[in-house]
Structure 1
Amino acid sequence: MIVIVTRHTGAIEWLMANGFSGEVVSHLTGDTILPGNIYIGVLPLPMIQRILDAGSRFYLLVMPEVSLAQRDQEMTPEEMGAAGAKLMEVKKIEMVPVKMPGG
């Protein structure tokens, strides 16, 4: 199953125009992550790690050409395309705790 994690209508429309559809959720919690799914969106690294650890795949939605004025704004699929929207599969993350000075 594909799970699209976003609150942005333009992102949903862009994904659908590019052949991706599935269950749309505005928020994801650890207890809703199931093995074998594909999750698509922009999520914090620890949540992406949980997805990968669960045996699922994660596609990060990136827009390398998005302007500062467009950040945190609703964008149309056309604006997303102009901003270079694409999906990048995250295959692994390595996170190691940092020893805090004085701690």
Structure 2
Amino acid sequence: MKGENLPVGLFNGTVATTNGLYSINDIDIDMAKRYIEQYGFISAIGHVATAEIMSELLKINIPMNRIQFHQEIGQVAIVFKLNERPPEGEILNRQEIERIGYSFKIMERLE
């Protein structure tokens, strides 16, 4: 399978980084950890508070890294998804993120 040795992308939103067909499903924290342990990761987390929460939950250091990421065919991304969209231009702190709530998604580029 193409993409099987690519590192897991870490995103703070379900964003299609390039044209393609994607699959997005819920994932629990233990499964997310297993993907990262097996394939490593590249952080594309663009906010400090999100990087802090993900680091704590996944028990690894995840840096904030505002990069232009392009997900490859077959590559998996773990997505930190807020339960609601914040107001335009607002940068949330950790307490606000915890209040809003979040879930994890697995997003794979299929083609």
- Rounded to whole Å, the distance in 2 between the matches of 1:15 and 1:4 is 10
Aligned-residue offset at 1:77: 2.2
- Rounded to whole Å, the distance in 2 between the matches of 1:88 and 1:75 is 20
- Rounded to whole Å, the distance in 2 between the matches of 1:10 and 1:2 is 18
Aligned-residue offset at 1:9: 0.7
Runs of 5+ in structure 2 lacking a partner?
Answer: 1-39
The answer to whether the 8 A contact 2:75-2:109 is kept is no
Bigger radius of gyration, 1 or 2? 1
Partner residue in 1 for 2:23: none
CA deviation string 1:28-79 (max 9, x = no partner)? 34xxxxxxxxxxxxxxxxx34x2xx1x43101221123443xx432222221
Runs of 5+ in structure 1 lacking a partner?
Answer: 30-46, 95-103
- Per the alignment, in what secondary structure is the counterpart of residue 106 of structure 2? strand
Change (3 A) 1:67 1:73: closer
The answer to whether the 8 A contact 2:81-2:103 is kept is yes
Percent sequence identity is 10
Change (3 A) 1:93 1:81: farther
TM-score of the superposed pair, with normalisation by structure 2? 0.49
The answer to whether the 8 A contact 1:2-1:22 is kept is no
- Per the alignment, in what secondary structure is the counterpart of residue 78 of structure 1? helix
TM-score of the superposed pair, with normalisation by structure 1? 0.52
Q: How well do the aligned residues superpose, as a CA RMSD in angstroms?
A: 2.5
**Counterpart among 59, 68, 77 of residue 78 in structure 2:** 59
